[in-house]
Structure 1
């Protein structure tokens, strides 16, 4: 599914409360901007039996006291099973999820610091890390630009 279709899917499946679909539409350009930095439109996310995304705690080599919580996004189903150790836990599943939904969800996942996207099948050597704070910042900037544009009366000429 291409990025525009993923945005439309989020809008169509948002709570019809009069606000959420408009909010998704407003942040869509920011989500697309981030997604275009990645090579794929869909990734596999490891989930536990209740559907929660599996977090991995990473320690900084130079300072083991510093930790961050990340979610890995794999390019193929085979990469999940060969690199994550999922074969050791049959309860875990890997679900294909659109990149737009992943970026949208990271905003709400408070314990998550980053998502690491692996774009090259067969290796986890080169991942693209997208910090939650970066996604939030780009979304906030996009919303501010949209609100400035909507402050201008349509009949200004």
Structure 2
């Protein structure tokens, strides 16, 4: 599924609350811009039996007191074994998810610090990390641009 079709699906499936579809449309250019930097249009996300995304807590090797919570996005189902013994856990499954949907979910994933996209099947060395805080700042800038009033041209009269 191409990126434009993914965005349209997000808009179509958004709650009809008068806000979410407009929000998706507004940040769609940002979602597409980030998605275009990635190698794949869809990734596998580990989920528990309730459908919640599986968080992995990583510790800093040099400073074990520093931790971050990440969600891995995997290019193939076989890559699950690279990052987790989850393949042995019947409560955990991997679900293919469009990349723009992963990015959009990051907005609401409170406990998550980053999504780590594994870019090369079979390897953990080539990754793209999207930090939630950075992503939210970019979204705020996008929303601010659209809200800010257009300057009044000096020759309007």
Does TM, normalized by the shorter one, top 0.5?
A: yes
* 2:82–2:123 contact (8 Å) kept in structure 1: no
| Paired residues, number | 155
**Within-5 A mapping of 1:5-154:** 5-148=5-148, 151-152=149-150
Q: Decide which moves more: 119-128 or 50-59.
A: 119-128
Q: Is the alpha carbon distance of 1:83 and 1:63 closer, same or farther for their aligned partners in structure 2, counting shifts above 3 Å?
A: closer
TM superposition score normalised by structure 2: 0.92
The separation in 2 between residues aligned to 1:113 and 1:78, in whole angstroms, is 25
Q: Which runs of 4+ in 1 moved over 4 A?
A: none
- What are structure 2's unaligned runs of at least 5 residues? none
- What are structure 1's unaligned runs of at least 5 residues? none
TM superposition score normalised by structure 1: 0.92
Shift of 1:82: 4.6
> Superposition RMSD on alpha carbons, in Å?
1.9
Shift of 1:106: 0.8
The separation in 1 between residues aligned to 2:43 and 2:102, in whole angstroms, is 9
